[in-house]
Amino acid sequence: MRYSSIPSAQLIVQHCKAKKIKNIVISPGSRNAPLTIDFSEDPYFKCFSVVDERSAAFFALGIAQQLHEPVAVVCTSGSALLNYYPAVAEAFYSGIPLVIISADRPVYKIDVGDGQTIRQDNVFDRHIGYSANLKQDVSHAVKRVEKYKPEWLSEENKDTAQQEIQDYNDSELNTALNVAMQIKLPVHINVPFEEPLYDTTTEPSVKALIVPVRDKEELDISDLQNYVNIWNASSKKIVLVGVNPPNEVEQKFLDQLATDPSVIVLTETTSNLHHPNFFTSIDSIIAPIEKSEESRMLFEKLKPQVLLTFGGLVVSKKIKAFLREYKPEHHWHIDELKAFNTFFSLTHHFRTSINSFFADFMNRIEPQTSDYFYFWNKIRLQYEIKREDYMKQIPFSDMLAFYNILKAIPENHHVQLANSSTVRYAQLFNLDPSLEIFCNRGTSGIDGSTSTAVGSAFYAKTPTLLITGDISFFYDSNGLWNNYIRPDFRIIIINNDGGGIFRILPGQEETENFATFFETAHEKNVEHLSAQFGFEYMLVNGVTSLNDRLKDFYKKSDKPKILEVHTPRFINNKILLGYFDFISSRELT
């Protein structure tokens, strides 16, 4: 086995191995050659080659999302590193432990006019869990060090100086990787390399000093009784769940919440929680109230005394607007690490796991006499009936396409949703409980949906379906530029010839400027891209052809498949807004 002759490259790889970071996504380059050699030569690591750094970082994020463990991405120096930033921000807000490892030029080559030299240290600054800026070895390329930085060697011998550097780098690497593993945040390790970059040795020249990750401390929640008393004294409670991994919460706790008459549980598609009594389309409850002449009275009736939240970020703008205006007396959030004050009413953060909290809390609560669930559940059942009526009368459109697509997904599929319109349409419908749903809701950007899905699918135990919009797909089409796409990978693209969501938002107007600079109108399809990346391709533009294609779309194949669904550009917004009018036409009593 070969090792890079550069000590700091060996050190990084040893630390990753000691912390069991197995998956390494490498973007080809020259300056990162020492790292590439050591990672790829060691059979312990599973190395992936993804050329586009932006795609590579989201690909790694997808793996980390699927495996719930740190994944490293490795790039060369210069602008390559900056392409990681969108995925770093997503990982930061989603609590996903990406390990960014960037090769850098020697410090004396920065800001002197050399190519591909930028200020790489602390480049992610406010969106990173920890930045480890390693020091350059002085035992490698000694003549260059003597030429450009003689003071590094002037007062002491080379061995002593090198040992001090290794001690410092060991400390920084332990801190960075332990943050990734304990706090579930992205970390950045920046390491300068001097040439020669490709020299190797058959034996490692250094041995890393490893500081183990500390065990998590069990937090004391013995003072829970005060909160139990508040809960038991309240007749109106909302449990709201944002992004949540599949199978994370014990069903017995969910069942108990679902049958409490003083509780309504609001879930989102990304919550991966299921019960017949859960409210799965939040906007379908809020929108009719907004349109009612008695909206203030109804919002006061819905306003909870206690709001209990867990999980990640919430998609629904309507529930955020409601809870910010009609603040609960108590808002408690359950999470081991952090609590966002999304509704500007947070009163307590339970720093523990969801199951640990519920195991203690649920044994002490007493169901209250209340008509809270009964009243709002009756409205929920009404809009679900009206939704089916509406689907029967609308023409082919985004909404009708989503309705049919979501119904046809086979059981036990891993589903990745792109952002913008895609995840919002999915919020309107009930999905099969066997499906595992994922979406990049940390920053809610469209920039890496495809790459994330491809990375996540690599280790998924079931076939993967990505549902995406045309702009999101085109924007991240390099997500298909790799050799790791499984033949059971499926993509459904809703192509409405532009950013259809902008036709729904305030400010929509039928002008050339709007079509060009907001909606980004186009007349492209993905047939050629499908051929380029080796996908089977099919195009549909009506409900009959869509349902016909869906019958065979999920059947076993030798190649992955793309189904492009072309919908009319000018009616989608009218149909979606008309849906909320339609379900609001019945009195809320």
Separation CA 100–CA 127 (nearest Å)? 12
Domain shared by 324 and 187, yes or no: no
Q: Is the residue at 20 inside a domain?
A: yes
Tell me: the pLDDT tens digits for 575-589?
Answer: 999 999 999 976 665
- Give the count of domains, the chain: 3
Tell me: the pLDDT tens digits for 47-77?
Answer: 999 999 999 999 999 999 999 999 999 999 9
Tell me: the pLDDT tens digits for 390-402?
Answer: 999 999 999 999 9
Q: Is the residue at 544 inside a domain?
A: yes
Instruction: Calculate mean pLDDT across residues 470-498.
Output: 94
Separation CA 340–CA 357 (nearest Å)? 18
Q: Is the residue at 382 inside a domain?
A: no
Q: Is the residue at 523 inside a domain?
A: yes
Look at residue 521 in the predicted model and tell me its pLDDT: 67
Query: Among candidates 166, 181, 186, 116, which has minimal Cα distance to 9?
Result: 166
Domain shared by 401 and 354, yes or no: no
Separation CA 471–CA 502 (nearest Å)? 12
Query: Among candidates 163, 155, 58, 93, which has minimal Cα distance to 418?
Result: 58
Pair 496, 569: CB distance under 8 Å: yes
Tell me: the pLDDT tens digits for 100-112?
Answer: 999 999 999 998 9
Look at residue 268 in the predicted model and tell me its pLDDT: 96
Look at residue 155 in the predicted model and tell me its pLDDT: 63
Q: What angle do CA 524, 525, 531 make, to 5 degrees?
A: 130
Q: Is the residue at 564 inside a domain?
A: yes
Among the ranges given (225-234, 458-467, 507-516), the one the predictor scored with the smallest mean pLDDT: 507-516
Instruction: Calculate mean pLDDT across residues 81-100.
Output: 97
Instruction: Calculate mean pLDDT across residues 355-382.
Output: 94
DSSP state of 479: G
CA 190 to chain centre: 24
Domain shared by 23 and 50, yes or no: yes
Domain shared by 141 and 234, yes or no: no
**Looking at this protein, which amino acid is placed at residue 555?**
K
- More confidently predicted of 523 and 533: 533
Look at residue 114 in the predicted model and tell me its pLDDT: 87
Instruction: Calculate mean pLDDT across residues 487-514.
Output: 75
Instruction: Calculate mean pLDDT across residues 456-464.
Output: 97
Separation CA 395–CA 106 (nearest Å)? 62
Pair 60, 484: CB distance under 8 Å: no
Pair 70, 24: CB distance under 8 Å: no
Tell me: the pLDDT tens digits for 285-330?
Answer: 999 999 999 999 999 999 999 999 999 999 999 999 999 999 999 9
Separation CA 185–CA 105 (nearest Å)? 26
Phi then psi for residue 354, to 5 deg, are -60, -45
Instruction: Calculate mean pLDDT across residues 421-442.
Output: 95
Alpha carbon of 496 to those of 130, 226, 317, 387, 401: distances in Å? 41, 53, 23, 22, 11
Domain shared by 90 and 151, yes or no: yes
Domain shared by 191 and 54, yes or no: yes
Across the chain, mean pLDDT equals 93
Report the first-to-last Cα separation within the chain, whole angstroms.
74
Look at residue 235 in the predicted model and tell me its pLDDT: 96
Token couple for 68: 């719930």
Q: State yes or no: pLDDT of 505 exceeds 90.
A: no
Q: Is the residue at 246 inside a domain?
A: yes
Helix 398-408 vs helix 372-393: angle between axes, to the nearest 10 degrees? 110
Domain shared by 24 and 148, yes or no: yes
Look at residue 233 in the predicted model and tell me its pLDDT: 96
Separation CA 468–CA 418 (nearest Å)? 5
Q: Is the residue at 207 inside a domain?
A: no
Domain shared by 486 and 417, yes or no: yes
Look at residue 508 in the predicted model and tell me its pLDDT: 63
Domain shared by 73 and 18, yes or no: yes
Residue at token pair 């890079």? 4
Domain shared by 401 and 320, yes or no: no
Cα atoms found within 13 Å of the Cα of residue 517, Cβ hemisphere only: 6
**Which residues touch 574 (CB under 8 Å, ≥6 apart)?**
none
CATH code of the domain containing 51: 3.40.50.970
Instruction: Label the pairing between strands 330-334 and 348-350.
Output: parallel
Look at residue 318 in the predicted model and tell me its pLDDT: 96
Residue at token pair 């920053």? 443
**Looking at this protein, which amino acid is placed at residue 253?**
F
Instruction: Calculate mean pLDDT across residues 239-262.
Output: 96
Strand partners, 188: 100, 131
Instruction: Calculate mean pLDDT across residues 383-389.
Output: 95
DSSP 188-224: EEEEE-PSP-S-EESS-S------PPPPPPPPP-GGG
Domain shared by 373 and 401, yes or no: no
Q: State yes or no: pLDDT of 519 exceeds 60.
A: no
Q: State yes or no: pLDDT of 239 exceeds 80.
A: yes
pTM metric for this prediction: 0.94
Q: State yes or no: pLDDT of 490 exceeds 90.
A: yes
Instruction: Calculate mean pLDDT across residues 436-465.
Output: 96
Look at residue 355 in the predicted model and tell me its pLDDT: 96
Separation CA 554–CA 557 (nearest Å)? 8
Alpha helices in 344-460 (DSSP H): 354-361, 372-393, 398-408, 421-426, 449-459
Token couple for 108: 């004396």
Cα atoms found within 13 Å of the Cα of residue 90, Cβ hemisphere only: 27
Dihedral sign, Cα of residue 382, residue 586, residue 390, residue 515: negative
- More confidently predicted of 207 and 219: 207
Q: State yes or no: pLDDT of 484 exceeds 90.
A: yes
CATH code of the domain containing 368: 3.40.50.1220
Instruction: Calculate mean pLDDT across residues 570-576.
Output: 88
Separation CA 400–CA 402 (nearest Å)? 5
Q: State yes or no: pLDDT of 503 exceeds 60.
A: no
Separation CA 528–CA 401 (nearest Å)? 23
Count Cβ atoms below 10 Å from residue 347 Cβ, excluding itself.
15
- Among the three residues 377, 411, 444, which one is the final residue of a domain in this structure? 377
Dihedral sign, Cα of residue 111, residue 117, residue 118, residue 120: negative
Alpha carbon of 588 to those of 264, 371, 381: distances in Å? 17, 15, 12
Range of 117's domain? 3-201
Q: State yes or no: pLDDT of 240 exceeds 90.
A: yes
Query: Among candidates 186, 185, 179, 174, which has minimal Cα distance to 73?
Result: 186
Among the ranges given (281-290, 493-502, 551-560), the one the predictor scored with the smallest mean pLDDT: 493-502
Instruction: Calculate mean pLDDT across residues 9-15.
Output: 98
Domain shared by 160 and 291, yes or no: no
Helix 53-67 vs helix 449-459: angle between axes, to the nearest 10 degrees? 40
Phi then psi for residue 587, to 5 deg, are -65, 140
pLDDT interval class at 113 (50, 70, 90): confident
Look at residue 466 in the predicted model and tell me its pLDDT: 98
Q: Is the residue at 213 inside a domain?
A: no
Token couple for 538: 């099919």
